[in-house]
Amino acid sequence: MKLLDYPEARQVIVSGDIHGDFKTLAYKLCIQYECKDTLLVVAGDCGFGFDKPGYYDQIYNKVASRLSKSNNWIVFVRGNHDNPAYFSEEKIAHKRWRTIPDYSVITAAGHSILCIGGATSIDRYNRMKHDARNRVAEVASYWPNEGPIYNPSEISDIALPIDTVITHTSPSFCELSSHVGLKSWAEWDPELIEDVARERETMDKIFYGLKEAGHYVERWFYGHFHQSWNAVIDGVQFSMLDIMEFKEVR
């Protein structure tokens, strides 16, 4: 378990997918909403891996002063449209802008937040074909180890009581019950429906694993489905976030 502490953060905001629109994200946080002393957590599909590594440092250098002036931080959780190595190896590790491994725990603004990434790309058939045609070192559009992982030992190692969870996809009892276009993509990818079902079952295991470990989770945020939805299920407030949608952790 990796523990990250942001003692100066006075509030935590979660964002839905951003798909590589890093500069807009920083602008929205610091200028449009005028947030200060704020930790922003992106719930996956950040866009790491589609460009060469140096590109992401260039983007950070362009927004770093804006983040510093507002005393804001941005943390990125792994999505299915991200190269997992950027997160497991923490390849982006700037003071105010970083990727984090699955099962990282963040403490900020009175919250203990568990972050777990991953999901299944329903368009992976086309992405694999694209990568096969365009063999370019260091960049891609699909990574086979993209799904979420249930790791009970990581859960048992969590020493803090978790009140908030941020993931990319969601348990099976949350919306969306089926990703738009899933059946049409499955005509080209016969294992897709089974893999998506397995993804959601994995998230169920994470949900019940946290309950069994004694964590009284109050809220759970996720993206992936490009829509908004909120509901209280089994005492937990679930919030699905649309693309670039912000929601405060209260």
pTM greater than the 0.95 cutoff: yes
Q: What is the mean pLDDT of the chain?
A: 96
Give the CA angle between residues 148, 25, 43 to the nearest 5°.
15
pLDDT digits (tens, 9 = 90+) for 56-85: 999 999 999 999 999 999 999 999 999 999
pLDDT of 185 > 90? The answer is no
- The tally of CA atoms less than 13 A away on the side-chain side of residue 56 is 23
pLDDT of 13 > 90? The answer is yes
Indicate the DSSP class of residue 248.
E
pLDDT digits (tens, 9 = 90+) for 127-174: 999 998 887 778 999 999 999 999 999 999 999 999 999 999 999 999
Least confident interval from 40-54, 134-148, 200-214: 134-148
Res. 180 pLDDT band, cuts 50 70 90: low
Please report, for the domain that includes residue 102, its CATH number.
3.60.21.10
Split into its structural domains, the chain has a count of: 1
% of the chain residues with pLDDT over 90: 91
Q: What pLDDT score does 136 carry?
A: 74
Sign of CA dihedral 120, 126, 128, 131: negative
pLDDT of 179 > 80? The answer is no
DSSP secondary structure letters along 16-29: ---TT-HHHHHHII
Classify strands 164-167 and 111-116 as parallel, antiparallel or unpaired: parallel
Indicate the DSSP class of residue 161.
P
Q: What pLDDT score does 134 carry?
A: 86
Q: Is 157 left (phi over 0), alpha (psi -120 to 50) or beta?
A: alpha
Q: What pLDDT score does 138 carry?
A: 81
Average the pLDDT over 110-121 and give the result: 98
The range of the structural domain enclosing residue 8 comes to: 3-248
Residues composing the chain: 250
Q: How crowded is residue 178: how many other Cβ atoms within 10 Å of its Cβ?
A: 12
Torsion, CA 172, CA 239, CA 99, CA 55, rounded to 10? 100
